[in-house]
Structure 1
Amino acid sequence: MTAIEALDAAWMREHPLPDPGGSGKDGRGQVLVVGGEVELAGAAMLAGVAALRAGAGKLQLAVAQDAVAALSVALPEARVLSLPRDGPDSARGHWTRLTEQAGHCDALLVGPGMMDDDSGLAAGLLAASQAIVVDAGALKAVTDAPPRSARILTPNAGEMAGLLGVSREKVEADPLAAGTQAAERFGAVVVAKGATTHVIHPDGRAGRYAGGGPGLGVSGSGDVLAGLIVGLLARGACPFDAAAWGVFLHGEAGARLASRIGRLGYLAREISTEAPSILSSF
């Protein structure tokens, strides 16, 4: 492995994001977020808002049918699709529509608000997009999928343990080693989330971000991080840079909220609101 780089403001200046210039929304990419089951449809909304805050131009969400109307009103910036319920055979229309949309988007995020993949939805979507972020309940599908260099995985310690078939304690004892193993095994950029977050490329490159603070350990925070990353990916950033920038934005937003609101107590929905001003400082 090469030397671990600090993912700080200097690194961001040395690795600028693609300049959208005067392009409209089509020039900044289209994001599709898939995974909002009815009890957790808000997770997809958190991720989708974060993608827009990161500068993506167009957004679609796919959530449980019972949540479509509510999210269409709560997030009028997005087109909201209905998730297939029981697999491709029993929900052929919705399944086909979703895979077609996945194939047409610039970046796909699968997993926020997905508790499992019993229908095989995540597994079916892993090959549907050239640029894909895999999070939460969709991560299990990666174990049976062929490697893809444009894929970004965002596991926490428990999810990493499940991916590698080891104990959570082993992952927490050496998260960089676990992330490196996962990056090599799955041929993907891995964001090993924790108090210190590592971003690891399958070629051995690695970055470390240790800022942010304990307030980021709040329900929905991981959905926001995944949304920031997929938004940057849609804008044209390479997978490693999109992941590194997303981790940095997420952490710096937490630091700003901590100084203004308090170390603890700010909400996940507030994190992505800080992203535009942080981006504008570069």
Structure 2
Amino acid sequence: MMDATRITPELLRAMPLPQPAGSTDKNARGSVLIVAGSVEVPGAALLAGTAALRAGAGKLQIATCSSIAPHLGLAVPEALVLGLPETSAGGVDPDAAELLCERAKRSDAVLLGPGMMDKEAVAELTTGMVKDLSGPALVLDAEALVCLDTLRDPLCEREGRTIITPHAGEMASLLEIEREAVEADPFAVANEVARRFRMVVALKGATTYIAAPDGECWFYESGNVGLATSGSGDTLAGVVTGLVARGASPAQAAVWGVYLHGQAGNRLARSLGPMGFLARELLAEIPGVMAELAH
């Protein structure tokens, strides 16, 4: 096992993000499909989708429950919003998997999971998409993580083109172990899962560890307690998805995404206070943090 490398501005400048040419159109900057939200938590799709655009993606589609789709379309006018059939519990019907996979073929990156509350439906939808989706990078978050133990073979076949963004509780559920076991050695847990499933793992916490399937690992410990707030994880997942859509490798997108998210929180902590800023306020800080690293 390799040692973990601290994420610093110097490290990121040594692994710069792809930069579009001046004449580039929105298609060349990458297309994102966000599958997110529920009747109970519609805002997660808004946060994740806007975060992807703030990270530099060129085009955004949001797929969500049909009853909330018109409202999201007004709230995120930059997005094409697709209304999907709903379950009785207010989630996306898993029968939408085939349609979503067709949509995903025209995308560079897909995010699945934020704000999706119907656990059984999410597990079935995730299974259908992971098994049938071969082209774009895939970012899995929140409830989309709970069934991954049954999907090891198709995830391994994706050979590192999958990124997951769990906190300790979600990782514990995935591995069927106690949360305390994850928190006792997050570095080892992240590495184990990355190798076992051949995917990039961003294990969130006071120190966030990013592990790649080849054993390489990074850590970020410069965030603040204000980031522990509703919607913060949706924002991080969206940033990572936007970065990989615009051409970053999965590991690079996770490393950069964790840093951008953390530094956005630090900016708000300085201007507003260490606690009380909102996840949606992180969004506008992302481009400025990226611009700082370009110099």
| CA deviation profile, 1:151-181 (whole Å, cap 9, x unmatched) | 0011100000011111001111111111111
Alignment correspondent of 1:70: 71
Question: Which of 121, 140, 143 matches 2:146?
Answer: 140
**Contact in 2 for aligned 1:115/1:136 (Cα 8 Å):** no
Greater than 4 Å deviation, 4+ residue runs: none
Structure 1 length normalisation: TM-score? Answer: 0.95
The separation in 1 between residues aligned to 2:7 and 2:94, in whole angstroms, is 44
Q: Tell me which amino acid in the other structure corresponds to 1:14.
A: A
Task: Name the residue aligned to 1:242.
Answer: 253
Structure 1: distance between partners of 2:168 and 2:85: 29
Residue 61 of structure 1 aligns to a residue whose secondary structure is strand
2:218 matches 1:214: no
Map 1:34-53 to 2 at 5 A. 34-53=35-54
1:109 is paired with a residue whose SS is strand
Q: What residue ranges of structure 2 are gaps of 5+ in the alignment?
A: none
2:126 matched to 1:122? yes
Residues 145 and 170, structure 2, Cα contact 8 Å, conserved in 1: yes
Per-residue CA distance 1:11-65 (angstroms, 9 max, x = gap) = 1100000111121110110000102111111101100000000000000111111
Aligned length: 279
Q: Quick one: percent identity of the two aligned structures?
A: 49
- Contact 1:188 1:201 (C-alpha < 8 Å) held by counterparts: yes
Structure 1 gap ranges (5+): none
**What is residue 17 of structure 2 aligned with on the other side?**
17
Give the aligned partner of residue 257 of structure 1. 268
RMSD over aligned Cα, in angstroms? 1.6
**Aligned pairs for 1:1-282 within 5 A:** 1-22=1-22, 23-86=24-87, 94-119=96-121, 120-126=124-130, 127-128=132-133, 129-145=135-151, 146=154, 147=156, 148=158, 149-281=160-292, 282=294
Task: Check the 8 A contact 1:117/1:141 in 2, yes or no.
Answer: no
| Alpha-carbon distance between aligned partners in 1 of 2:34 and 2:94, rounded to the nearest angstrom | 19
**Secondary structure, aligned partner of 1:278:** helix
Q: Secondary structure at the match of 1:184?
A: helix
For residues 83 and 205 of structure 1, the distance between their equivalents in structure 2, rounded to whole angstroms, comes to 38
8 Å contact 2:94–2:125 — kept in the other structure? no
User: Structure 1 pair 264/83, CA: closer, same or farther in 2 (3 Å)?
Assistant: same
Cα distance, 1:99 vs structure 2: 2.0
Q: Deviations over 1:235-261 (max 9, x none)?
A: 010000000000000000010000000
Aligned partners of 2:142, 2:118: CA distance in 1, in Å? 9
Q: Give the Cα separation in 2 of the matches to 1:236 and 1:58.
A: 13
Query: Quick one: which amino acid aligns to residue 85 of structure 1?
Result: E
1: CA distance between counterparts of 2:161 and 2:100? Answer: 20
